[in-house]
Structure 1
Amino acid sequence: MASIRSALRLAPRAQFVRPSTISRTPIAAQRYASVVPRPATDTKSAAEAEQGSEDLAGIGDDPNMNGNYPDPSLTSALPVKRQHRDPYADWWDPQERRNYGEPVHEDNDILGIFSPEDYTHFSSGWGAVLLGTFVGAVGVLCAVVYRYYPDKPAVSRTFEDGLETELGGPRARRARNQEEGDVAALDRTIA
């Protein structure tokens, strides 16, 4: 069966016809809607309904805190995301890739077919190689620019006597001369 499934998956779709899901029962044995209405009342007694709710509630503890919802991972292929299931298999619900009676997982919003798709184009190791290549290429580009970027084409301007007359005369605070070296911290006291 697996070889047929893989052949169907790999072959072009137009060459193979998917087996029909039409019922094989004879026409006389099939049930159709009747003119006679069925009774709309529930024939279960209150005791049977109470027993059914007790069966659902469970007797013991609820370790998963999910209302004793059945764990589908014990009985089916879940919790595999539905996008990873075989799209060409004969599902009862082909869009959701589910079979009839298969319990819906409690995390169906995450595992369902309409959840955001897994990014499976390449592995995390190959992603690290690509990221390292990008960082290395940017580093090499920065090194080349640092090595060959031209220096400043001019020298900073200097003035004799620190522009004393232009800055207010002899009583003004003077700009330092080149001979003075580093300037001490400003004295902020008022004289």
Structure 2
Amino acid sequence: MASHVPAPVEPRDPQLGPDYPNVPREYAQTRNPLGGESGRWWDMQNRRNFGEPLHAEDEALSVWSPDVPHVPPQRALFHFSIACLCFVAYGVFVPFIQVESPAAPRSYPYDGLVTELGGLEENKARVETVDDEE
């Protein structure tokens, strides 16, 4: 069984009664999942033995609280910065990549069928001209 390093002793909380023990601040997630000193937890789900005193902030230290981070904050900020930089670089360089359209542009005779479809002269499609110099 792994040796358990005791948590540092905190200063006494003045809001607790004088007879309540000064329980160390320990996340339940860091406790051995298989059992305590007796080899098995009385409450396996919360990793607690019967009669064990609760910390004043037990709801923040329980198994159901947010996970204890395993990555130091500086390292996490570095990784987040790299991810943001990759997104920005992708957004900057993608407009420079121009791919030729696989489809041919649609063209209609008679100035885009304006008169055949009954459209207005101002709304007609682009006018195609034939270059005689070719």
TM-score by length of 1: 0.36
TM-score by length of 2: 0.48
Larger Rg: 1
Looking at both structures, which has the greater relative contact order when contacts are Cα pairs under 8 Å and sequence separation is at least 6? 2
